[in-house]
Structure 1
Amino acid sequence: MTTFSEQHPGVAAEVPPATRGFRLNHTMLRVKDPAASLAFYSRVLGMRVLRKLDFPEMKFSLFFLARLEDGKHDVPQDVGERTAWTFQQEGILELTHNWGTEDQADFRYHDGNAQPQGFGHICFSVPDLQAASTWFDENGVEFVKRADQGKMKNVVFIKDPDGYWIEIVQADLLAQLGRPA
């Protein structure tokens, strides 16, 4: 059985059987101040911390966050079981805090969008783009681009406390995206 994929140069014709069960679990962002980042991702985007792991010998902490729908997940209470469960999920955001960066006034991570460009952004899909934009305004979130700006309409970009870009989309508004006008 072939799994659907648009065909482009370099795309394997078949999914290699050895990759059965592989899934994208998480994306990691380094953060300067975990309190500021956790406030943003939990209060503004509704994410919850599934697990925090500290590594004192290496002086860093990992925070694994997800946007879980109420009542749809049976999150284990035992920390070992919850750690294993966390690494089985999809759509996790890992925030990595290297201890002491929060005390360095001039410390910044590269956001990936300044030169030289590299990493670009993460993306959240929302049910109502206008309502989300209003929510971001009410919470003092910095916009990179609003839905009516630029050539790509109905796509919003905001920044988190470390300057990372977050794309915000409403799926049903994007059906014509990438099609000739």
Structure 2
Amino acid sequence: MKFKFEHNNINVLDLDRSIAFYKAALGLQEVKRKEHENGDFILVFMGDGITEHQLELTWLRDRTEPYDLGDNEFHIAFRVDAFEAAYEYHKENGWICFENEEMGIYFIEDPDGYWIEILPAK
């Protein structure tokens, strides 16, 4: 029996704002979309165009309050080939929320408060 990563899900309050962030900050593109027939929810799957792994953004029509991310100890990680250029781009846009110079990584924060780890190429 073999298991393969398919996608990760996060819930978002403003779907258009989140799609725009993930496009601008990480170059992700919408791969597919599922809209419930009565409008209760919309699922948007974002892909990097390199791997098969996707990020599922879930928007719930009746949700009006920000999501409780607890201690926000979970995150998504991306490796980038041009680390310094990515760092400068994310810094210019005010997206960097935490830097760990000792480890050579940093985190950006999306519109809903989720953290995304940025790693240099190996």
Tell me the TM-score normalized by structure 2.
0.88
1:37 aligns with 18
Q: Percent identity?
A: 34
Q: Distance in 2 between matches of 1:36 and 1:100?
A: 17
Structure 1 counterpart of 2:20, one-letter code: A
Q: Which consecutive aligned stretches of 4+ in structure 1 deviate over 6 angstroms post-superposition?
A: none
Work out whether residues 80 and 86 of structure 2, in 8 Å CA contact, stay in contact via their aligned partners in 1.
yes
Deviation of residue 112 (structure 1)? Answer: 4.4
1:3 aligns with none
Cα root mean square deviation, aligned: 1.9
Q: What stretches of structure 2 of length at least 5 have no aligned partner?
A: none
Q: Does 1:110 align with 2:68?
A: yes
Greater relative contact order (Cα 8 A, min sep 6): structure 1 or 2? 2
Work out whether residues 122 and 167 of structure 1, in 8 Å CA contact, stay in contact via their aligned partners in 2.
yes
Tell me the TM-score normalized by structure 1.
0.61
Q: Which one of the candidate residues 47, 67, 81 is aligned to 1:66?
A: 47
SS in 1 for 2:34: strand
1:157 aligns with 107
| Aligned pairs, number | 122
Q: What pairs with 1:24-173 in structure 2 (closer than 5 Å)?
A: 24-57=5-38, 59-69=40-50, 90-101=52-63, 104=64, 107-114=65-72, 120-141=74-95, 143-148=96-101, 152-172=102-122
